[in-house]
Amino acid sequence: MLQVVLNVPSDLDHLKRGLKQLSAFLPSELTGRITATWSEQPGLTAAAHTEGYQLQFNRACELFRGIGLIAAGSVLPDGSMAQQLPFRSLGVMYDCSRNSVPTVATVKQILSRMALMGYNVLMLYTEDTYTLASRPEFGHYRGRYSPTELKEIDDFAWQLGIEMIPCIQTLAHLERFLRWQSTDSLRDNQHILLSENAAVYSLIDEMITSVSSCVRSRRIHLGLDEAHGLGLGRYLEQNGYRRPEKIMQTHLEAVGQICSRHALKPMMWGDMIFRMNIAGAGYYDQDVVLPAGTGDIIPKSYDVVYWDYYHTEEAFYEKYIDEHLKQGIKPLFAAGVCSWIGMVPNLVRTAATTRSSVQAALKKQLDDMFLCVWKDDGGEGLPGPDFLGMMMYAEYCYNQGQQDLPAWRRQAPVMTGASYDSFMAVGSIDEIQEGLSLAGLEAPNPHKYFLWQDILLGQFDCEAATGDYAAVYTRKAGELAALLSAGEYQPEALYGLRLGYLLCRLLAYKVDLGVRLKSAYDSGDQVKLAELRELIAGEYPQRIRELRDWHRDSWFHFYKPFGWEIADLKYNHLLGRAETACYRLDAYLRGEISQIDELAQDRLTSVGRVPAGPVNLPHFNNFLNAATVGQI
């Protein structure tokens, strides 16, 4: 067993408890001795000696990263290494608001992995998944965290030298709370609070004090992004028309005063100042030039976060950082693991976007860097593969934006729990055409819509017909099966690896199923239709159930139970429509109906066009609209 002797000032004694917690995430076969000593000298250095390793560090994140590097074999027996984090903050923002709310045990696992990578900040993004004493409906049935749970997480993070910053919403993105009839008087529209309303500011005060009282940090992220339709709902009825930016300015001042009363330093997403100056309220425009004084809408007490998860060109990030700087705003920066696209992340895209953004941030000498792990449209994915995206970002930040694949391969088993090749295989499932992951502003996510689309309606059949994707998914399933057999992973990593395998195994059957049905129907090939009917009744639903059962076991292992009911709806949609497809095919093959109207329909592309010329694989991230064009 690896032994660590820690020499630190008394005010860092809590890190000794963190070392004990972290030991569970280090390979049990590791032996030897690390003598770790705090130093006033910035950075970490590690060197091998006959009696073990000497590790010198200044910040807690460097201590734990140094242990991770030594455990991974990145410090050779006769060698040494030195690194320094060039940023004040290196953090992760983890989405806990899209149904998949991590249990306390899972958050501790996330924190432990972060520590080994060298992070020093965690934000749990909680729209309504924390507790308000005066509002029992807030986060009800949503897996909200209790104050006791948040305090336990903060204590664990503190032992690892990680600052736990609350991350909430204080204007928009509150539709799950505002759905309750009891919130009518608080609502501007279905997802925005009513600005300039005394009851709303009393609510926001409680929001801020509830979460900030559970943590040691005096920083707080207030959200305040994407307030589309601000002032055009109940506010308009009560106050008449007022320009949205004026409403926002008043709101920011009021919420800032609340933070000031509680001695808190607020931060907010910074897209607003761009949306005010881009047609259609967009966020990204290479040619945008913010007028002088645009940034004055944001009180000086706020830190501003420039978020950009999409661009692969360093020059774009530099342009947008410069636009902030011209407004007198030195932004914090937030990149993203491409994890919001469905059941598996796109780590090919993640590697490209994060590298460019880190290189730009280094050039512009930013101080605070964050990595968002969003879980849009139901939080279908699992934590494991995301860890590799988190490791990529940390490696870029500690290594001046440079990519070192041999080092990544050494470090992934210790820092993520699986080999680099294993999690990268899951993170490249959407790479079904060479270079597809880097196409467009949003990475195409074919696994999402090919999985959930209806086999009779064929909304994405034109896209499915652009290649032999059944063969591609069969190959990917085989690669993942081989990696699973190799066993190069810790037990917790099995969940995400096997989920990727079962997803590919299902898609190998399903991706062109609608195409084959339509082809056989159009050609009048009843023999082929009968064969497909047997597949739809037999092997196809069996593979759906295999994926669902593993996904369900994984969900209840990592997440609170609330939210799985949506996954049940999704899987039951697939199973129910398979039964209906058999019902319709049986009636047609027996001669009870003269045609199958669903299959008789001409196929349009997913954007609603008659196919003409090349058909591109899109980014499409909404289950409901992938499953049906009908109304629910």
Per residue in 104-143, pLDDT (tens digit) is: 999 999 999 999 999 999 999 999 999 999 999 999 999 9
pLDDT of 27 = 81
pLDDT mean over 18-32: 87
List the single range of 50-59, 151-160, 260-269 with lowest mean pLDDT.
50-59
Q: What is the dihedral of CA 575, 576, 577, 583, to 10 degrees?
A: 110
Q: What pLDDT band is residue 24 in, cutting at 50, 70 and 90?
A: confident
pLDDT mean over 549-576: 98
Structure tokens at 487: 């066993």
445-627 has which CATH code? 1.20.120.670
Residue given tokens 């008659």 in the structure block: 610
CB 272 within 8 A of CB 286: no
Residues 6+ apart with CB under 8 A from 183: 137, 177
pLDDT of 144 = 98
Q: Alpha-carbon distance 274 to 294, whole Å? A: 9
CB 360 within 8 A of CB 314: yes
Query: Mean pLDDT of all residues in the chain?
Result: 96
pLDDT mean over 379-401: 97
- Give the chain's length: 632
Q: What pLDDT band is residue 488 in, cutting at 50, 70 and 90?
A: confident
pLDDT mean over 191-212: 98
Q: What is the DSSP string of 499-549?
A: HHHHHHHHHHHHTTHHHHHHHHHHTT-HHHHHHHHHHHHTHHHHHHHHHHH
- CA 348 to chain centroid, in Å, comes to 15
Instruction: Write the pLDDT tens digit of every residue in 508-554.
Output: 999 999 999 999 999 999 999 999 999 999 999 999 999 999 999 99
Q: Alpha-carbon distance 435 to 446, whole Å? A: 13
Which stretches within 223-342 are classed as H helix? 234-239, 244-261, 272-275, 314-326
Q: Domain 3-83 adopts which CATH fold? A: Double Stranded RNA Binding Domain (3.30.160)
pLDDT of 148 = 98
Q: Alpha-carbon distance 15 to 18, whole Å? A: 5
Q: What pLDDT band is residue 555 in, cutting at 50, 70 and 90?
A: very high
CB 394 within 8 A of CB 87: no
Q: Alpha-carbon distance 463 to 509, whole Å? A: 16
- CA 195 to chain centroid, in Å, comes to 29
Q: Alpha-carbon distance 46 to 34, whole Å? A: 9
Q: Alpha-carbon distance 626 to 612, whole Å? A: 21
Beta-sheet pairing, 303-307 with 163-164: unpaired
- Three-state SS string across 435-480, please? CHHHCCCCCCCHHHHHHHCCCCCCCCHHHHCCCCHHHHHHHHHHHH
Q: For the chain, how big is the Rg over CA atoms in Å?
A: 26
- CA 438 to chain centroid, in Å, comes to 18
pLDDT of 28 = 80
Q: Alpha-carbon distance 166 to 157, whole Å? A: 13
| pTM for this predicted structure | 0.97
Q: Alpha-carbon distance 532 to 518, whole Å? A: 11
* Sequence letter at residue 364: K
* Sequence letter at residue 53: Y
Q: What pLDDT band is residue 26 in, cutting at 50, 70 and 90?
A: confident
89-417: CATH, from 3.40.50.2300, 3.20.20.80, 3.40.50.300, 3.20.20.100:
3.20.20.80
Residues 6+ apart with CB under 8 A from 223: 127, 167, 168, 169, 170, 171, 172, 173, 268, 269
Q: What pLDDT band is residue 32 in, cutting at 50, 70 and 90?
A: confident
Q: Which helix (H) or strand (E) holds 38?
A: strand 32-38
Residue given tokens 């045609």 in the structure block: 595
Domain residue spans of the chain: 3-83, 89-417, 445-627
pLDDT of 168 = 98
Q: What pLDDT band is residue 78 in, cutting at 50, 70 and 90?
A: confident
* 93 φ/ψ angles, rounded to the nearest 5 degrees: -110, 115
- Which residues on adjacent β-strands are paired with residue 32? 2
Q: Do domains 3-83 and 445-627 have the same CATH topology?
A: no
CB 160 within 8 A of CB 22: yes
Instruction: Kindly state the DSSP code that residue 11 receives in the 8-state scheme.
Output: G
Beta-sheet pairing, 44-49 with 80-83: antiparallel
- Which residues on adjacent β-strands are paired with residue 45? 56, 82
* 583 φ/ψ angles, rounded to the nearest 5 degrees: -60, -45
Q: Alpha-carbon distance 422 to 385, whole Å? A: 9
Residue 365 exposure: Cα atoms within 13 Å on the Cβ side: 1
Which among 507, 515, 500, 509 has a CA at the least distance from the CA of 463?
515
Q: Alpha-carbon distance 184 to 523, whole Å? A: 56
Which among 62, 220, 248, 48 has a CA at the least distance from the CA of 150?
220
pLDDT of 535 = 97
Instruction: Kindly state the DSSP code that residue 101 receives in the 8-state scheme.
Output: -
Structure tokens at 163: 């600052």
Residue 296 exposure: Cα atoms within 13 Å on the Cβ side: 5
Q: Alpha-carbon distance 437 to 331, whole Å? A: 28
Residue-wise burial string across 201-221, b where 16 or more C-beta atoms lie within 10 A, e elsewhere? bebbbbbbebbbebbebebbb
Residue given tokens 């890190």 in the structure block: 15
Q: Give the whole-number percent of the chain exceeding pLDDT 90.
A: 95
Q: Alpha-carbon distance 320 to 162, whole Å? A: 29
Q: Is the pLDDT of residue 18 over 80?
A: yes
Tally of CB atoms within 10 A around 149? 16
Q: Is the pLDDT of residue 1 over 80?
A: no
- Which residues on adjacent β-strands are paired with residue 63? none
Q: Alpha-carbon distance 436 to 183, whole Å? A: 44
